[in-house]
A and B are shown apart, each in its own frame.
Chain A
Amino acid sequence: MKSASSRFSPALLAAVPVFVFLVVPTLIVVPMAFNQSRYITFPPAHFSLDAVSGFLSDPAWTSAVAASLQAAGIAVGLAVLLGGSAAVALHGRRFPGRNLLTGVILAPMIVPAIVLALAFYQFFTSLGLVGTILPIGLAHAVVATPYAFLTVRASLSGLNPALVRSARSLGAGWLSVARFVYLPVIRPGLVAGALFAFSVSIDETVIALFLQSPSATTLPVKMFTDIQYNLTPKIAVSSAMLVTAATLGLLVQVSFMLRRRSNARMLPLTSAAADQTG
């Protein structure tokens, strides 16, 4: 594997322009956040932290960050709980309607955001909930649940079904089965699902725009409304923050995947060696 990746490949050459095309526009906003100017300009002329400190001292922006984090907190918690338990419940069971149920769980990934936004707007308005951050968090949870469901389901595919049976034969009730059999197996799936759910919620704009109120404005909504009449570098600062958050999330996930893979690669080697000696 190492020799294959170190060898030069023509496909790599083709990947470079694609990479530039995909990543550079995102990265352009980062230096703009550190520019000394009252407006967003490119290329940046003088390095300055004015925009950053301005952003941090402006309650309108910090409360938007807080609102986003609150919504994301609700979304992550619910998505991991619902998606994770749905994946465990459906694991290894065959019953009529199983595929339909899976489809329902995954539907929010396919339904256009604008349709969901409209539906949520009507639903939460009729409940009288609009005006707080709660409906945005709940709506984001619906959109994020499929991701947690999929990541937990993927981690369950490595579960030996005999583990559940052996735990039960040894005297474990359902709580102990959940703790000693399911949790260790789905932990990476839960972490990945939480990261996905977080990035879905933190970046979601359409639904949050529909459900916004002066006391519940998330960061993307604030950026969107501001950009129409007030092109300050604070927008670039928030963009830079979002890019940083997304990158950190990605790195955490990659490190998780690499650790899992190295564990998996160790397995046949060590057991083969032990077979030789033992």
Chain B
Amino acid sequence: MTTSSPLQTAADPTTGNQEEGSIELRRVRRTYGDVTAVDDIDLTVHPGEFVTLLGPSGSGKTTTMMMVAGFEELTSGMVLINGRPVDKLPPKDRNLGVVFQSYALFPHLSARENVEFALRMRRVRPAERRQRAEEALERVGLAKLGDRRPRELSGGQQQRVALARALVFNPSALLLDEPMAALDKRLREQMQEEIKTIQRSLGISVLFVTHDQDEAMSMSDRIVVMRDGRIVQQGAPDDVYAHPVNDWVANFLGDANLLPCTVLERSGETAVVDLGELGVGRVRDRGASGDRYAVSIRPEHLAFIPADRTENSASGRVVTSTNLGATIRHRLRVGGQDLLLRELSAGRRTARELDGEVFVGWEQDEAQLLVLES
């Protein structure tokens, strides 16, 4: 049974290798002529961790992944898989499961033959590889469709085949390059959950590339935000979301209220800032320094409060209220600035009165001092 289980975890605790399934990049750099695509990146994916490279197109995230897979050469630096340098290893010997944006299924092979491919390359006997391929297809819910050609499968089904194909040979880690970009929203959400479930049950490390912040938020253990070939910020999804280091990250990861401020006092993780007409604020501080500062507050972290407070609050009026179904979005005019406030629509019976005076406040932990870059 141990030999025939196709999707057993790569990070096998019995081997005693603590680094089994890890990916490490040391000062990895890639230039094309004058263009620096990836600029001295240091990054570690720990065994069993789900790490997402998140950034707009041209941020170097796909190039970074392709260097890990061995399809792009490094200009300088080093990639280690399972703690061993792989710079001399061709892609076929890196033992990584790669799922491409286009799925890249072999069109002339059936779904099962596609899944069998890696085993065939590893000279696994036909009977065994057929069995392992069947089991892998079963795991992704395609047990009955093994005989179909890729063109006879829907986009979501092709994607599952690609996933089964990348997992069937017990790879050290899984690399996913925008695998859900071609799926519609509902299917995408379903696949996100399935991939996450499979990843957890196998305990396999995943390096995931996407430009979709919702996808990154919902799937990752750690998000690595990339811009212009550099890592701008990394951390747990809710941490990066609530505490962006600069206005670019704040805006890239969803809506943000950015309140320009001057810093009055910084002590450890807290800063006291002057928000002008919005009064004095006591906010979270990451210690980043720059020329100009702002406080970032997510719209859902702003709340209506009954009365003004001395800190972390302001008064203003409601300009528009839009019901979005699950949430209501209020546009407020506060101290000469436009703010967005989002609240759950559950329990609310009446829309907030327009133009009436309201008080809004926020929690110290959910307001982040950041550097204004633009």
Contacts and interface: CB of A to CB of B under 8 A. Distances in A.
Interface stretch (A28-36, A169-177, A197-205, A233-241): A169-177
A169 B98 contact: yes
Contacts of A267: 151
Contacts of A119: none
27 contacts: A160-B102, A160-B104, A162-B100, A165-B91, A165-B98, A166-B105, A168-B90, A169-B70, A169-B71, A170-B117, A170-B118, A171-B122, A171-B169, A172-B92, A172-B117, A180-B109, A180-B117, A181-B106, A184-B106, A271-B151, A271-B152, A274-B153, A274-B154, A274-B157, A277-B154, A278-B154, A278-B157
Given A170-B118, A171-B118, A165 B156 contact: no
Nearest to B168: A170
Contacts of A184: 106-108
B154 A271 contact: yes
Contacts of A277: 154
A95 to B, nearest CB: 13
B97 A169 contact: yes
Interface in A235-278: 266-267, 270-271, 274-275, 277-278
Dominant secondary structure at the A interface: helix
Given A160-B104, A171-B93, 6 more contacts: A165-B98, A170-B92, A170-B121, A173-B92, A274-B152, A278-B153
A181 B165 CA distance: 16
B155 interface: yes
Contacts of B71: 165, 168-169
A170 B169 contact: yes
Contact of B153 (A160, A170, A176, A271): A271
A129 interface: no
A169 B98 CA distance: 7
Nearest to B165: A170
B94 A169 contact: yes
Contacts of A160: 102, 104
A160 B162 CA distance: 15
A167 B91 CA distance: 9
A212 to B, nearest CB: 44
Interface in B129-158: 151-157
B13 to A, nearest CB: 25
A163 interface: yes
A45 to B, nearest CB: 55
Interface string B157-185: 10000000110010000000000000000
A166 B98 contact: yes
